[in-house]
C-alpha cells in the first residue's frame, strides 16, 4: 500500500498535463493527463443510459441487509461517507489484476470476486483489462484531492476529484480500469478501446455500473469517466442499465435516499464515435 500511496503523490509533483476525471488514481500517473474529455469517442451502448422509450420504472425498495445497504449507498457531493467509514472485509487484489508497477490495491471481497471473474471473461475475449485504482481511505483521498486542488484550484478540482469523505472509492467497491493501449492510464480514449467497448457491453453482467457517464455532469457533479465502475451486484446492475437514469439517481430510488437533482428525462443514447 505504501508503494501505491507514494506513487500517487508523485503524480501531482511530476506530470505536466491536466488530469481528466473526478477521482484521480492512487497509482502511477501514466496517462491520466491525456487531455480533455469533451468530444471523446463514446463507449458501446451498454455503458449509456437507455432511451426513454425503453426505460424501465424503478420502484423504491429498501435494502434489507447491511451488505446491501453498503452496496447501494448513495455517495455524492450531497451525501458523504465521512472520515470514519471503512468497508468490511477488504482483500488485496492479485498482481495480474493490477496495472504494471503499482503496489497492493484492495476491494471488498464481493467486489474483488466479481472483478476477477470479469477479467477472466475479458481475457477469454483476447482483452487485457487491469485496475489502476481501487479502495482509497479518507486519508488517501485527502492527499489526492488536496494535491489536485493546489494545482488546479478548488472549483476545477471539484469537477474531477471528490473531496475526502465524498469519494465512491472509499466504499471499496469501485475500480478505475485501464489497458495497455492508453498507457495504463486514465483518459477518455479508454471508451473507444476494445477493452472499453467490451466493458460497456458486459460490465453490468458482472455487477458493475458506470458512475459518471458522458454529458451528465449536471446530475453527477463530475466529468465523464469511462473507466470508473462501481460494483452493485448483477441483478441491481441489470436493473440500473434498464432504468435509463444515472447511477446516483438509481441508487437514490432503490435505496430510499434522496437522489441527486436529476434531468427531466433519461440521457439520450448515442452511437459509437459521437
Number of domains in the chain: 1
pLDDT in tens, 168-213: 999 999 999 999 999 999 999 999 999 999 999 999 999 999 999 9
Summary mean pLDDT of the chain: 79
Instruction: Give the rounded distance of the alpha carbon of 123 from its chain centre.
Output: 21
Residues spanned by the domain of 104: 2-85+98-254
Q: Is 264 within the bounds of a domain?
A: no
Is residue 163 scored above 80 in pLDDT? yes
Write out pLDDT tens, residues 13-64. 232 234 344 444 334 333 333 333 333 333 333 333 333 334 555 555 555 6
* 233 or 23: which leads in pLDDT: 233
Cα distances (Å, whole numbers) of residue 92 to 29, 113, 184: 21, 11, 19
Find the catalytic residue in 195, 214, 225, 249: 225
Task: Based on the residue annotation, tell me whether 225 is a catalytic residue of this protein.
Answer: yes
pLDDT score at 5: 52
Give the model's confidence band at 12: pLDDT under 50 very low, under 70 low, under 90 confident, else very high: very low
Residue 260 domain-assigned?
Answer: no
Mean pLDDT of 240-266: 71
CATH number of the domain within which 63 lies: 3.30.1380.10
Q: Is residue 16 part of a domain?
A: yes
> What are residue 90's DSSP bridge partners?
108
**Residue 262 forms part of a structural domain:** no
70 belongs to a structural domain: yes
- Rounded Cα distance, 192 and 209, in Å: 17
Residue 69 placed within a domain: yes
Q: What percent of the chain has pLDDT over 90?
A: 66
- pTM to 2 decimal places: 0.76
Residue 216: exposed, middle, or buried by beta-carbon count in 10 A (0-12, 13-18, 19+)?
Answer: buried
Considering the chain, what percentage of its residues have pLDDT values greater than 70?
A: 70
Q: Specify if 29 maps to a domain.
A: yes
Q: What is the SS3 assignment for the chain?
A: CHHHHHHHHHHHHHCCCCCCCCCCCCCCCCCCCCCCCCCCCCCCHHHCCCCCCCCCCCCCCCCCCHHHHHHCCCCECCECCCCCCCCCCEEECCHHHECCCCCCCEEEHHHHHHHHHHHHHHHHCCCCCEEEECCCCHHHHHHHHHHHHHHHCHHHHHHHCCCCCCCHHHHCCEEEEECHHHCCCCCHHHHHCHHHHHHHHHHHHHCEEECCCCCCHHHHCCCCCCCEEEECCHHHHHHHHHHCCCHHHHHHHHCCCCCCCCCCCCCCCCCCCC
The predicted structure's pLDDT at residue 4: 52
* Cell matching residue 83: 472520515
Residue 178 inside a domain? The answer is yes
Cell of 96: 495480474
Amino acid at each position: 500500500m505504501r508503494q501505491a500511496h507514494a506513487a500517487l503523490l508523485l503524480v501531482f509533483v511530476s506530470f505536466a498535463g491536466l488530469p481528466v476525471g473526478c477521482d484521480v488514481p492512487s497509482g502511477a500517473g501514466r496517462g491520466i493527463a491525456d487531455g480533455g474529455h469533451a468530444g471523446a469517442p463514446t463507449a458501446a451502448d451498454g455503458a449509456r443510459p437507455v432511451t426513454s422509450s425503453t426505460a424501465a420504472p424503478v420502484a423504491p425498495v429498501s435494502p434489507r441487509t447491511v451488505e446491501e445497504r453498503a452496496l447501494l449507498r448513495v455517495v455524492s457531493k450531497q451525501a458523504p461517507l465521512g472520515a470514519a467509514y471503512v468497508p468490511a472485509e477488504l482483500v488485496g487484489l492479485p498482481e495480474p489484476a493490477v496495472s504494471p508497477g503499482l503496489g497492493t490495491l484492495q476491494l471488498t471481497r464481493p467486489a474483488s470476486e466479481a472483478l476477477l471473474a470479469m477479467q477472466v471473461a475479458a481475457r477469454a475475449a483476447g482483452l487485457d483489462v487491469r485496475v489502476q485504482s481501487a479502495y482509497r481511505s479518507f486519508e488517501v483521498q485527502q492527499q489526492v484531492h488536496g494535491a489536485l486542488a493546489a494545482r488546479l484550484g478548488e472549483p476545477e478540482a471539484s469537477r474531477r476529484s471528490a473531496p475526502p469523505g465524498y469519494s465512491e472509492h472509499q466504499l471499496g467497491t469501485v475500480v478505475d480500469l485501464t489497458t495497455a493501449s492508453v498507457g495504463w492510464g486514465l483518459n477518455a480514449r479508454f471508451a473507444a478501446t476494445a477493452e472499453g467497448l467490451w466493458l460497456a457491453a458486459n460490465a453490468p453482467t458482472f455487477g458493475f455500473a458506470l458512475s459518471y457517464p458522458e454529458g451528465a455532469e449536471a446530475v453527477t457533479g463530475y466529468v465523464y469517466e469511462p473507466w470508473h465502475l462501481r460494483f452493485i451486484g448483477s441483478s441491481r446492475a441489470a436493473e440500473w442499465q434498464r432504468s435509463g437514469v444515472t447511477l446516483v439517481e438509481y441508487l437514490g430510488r432503490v435505496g430510499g435516499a434522496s437522489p441527486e437533482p436529476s434531468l427531466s428525462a433519461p440521457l439520450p443514447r448515442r452511437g459509437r464515435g459521437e
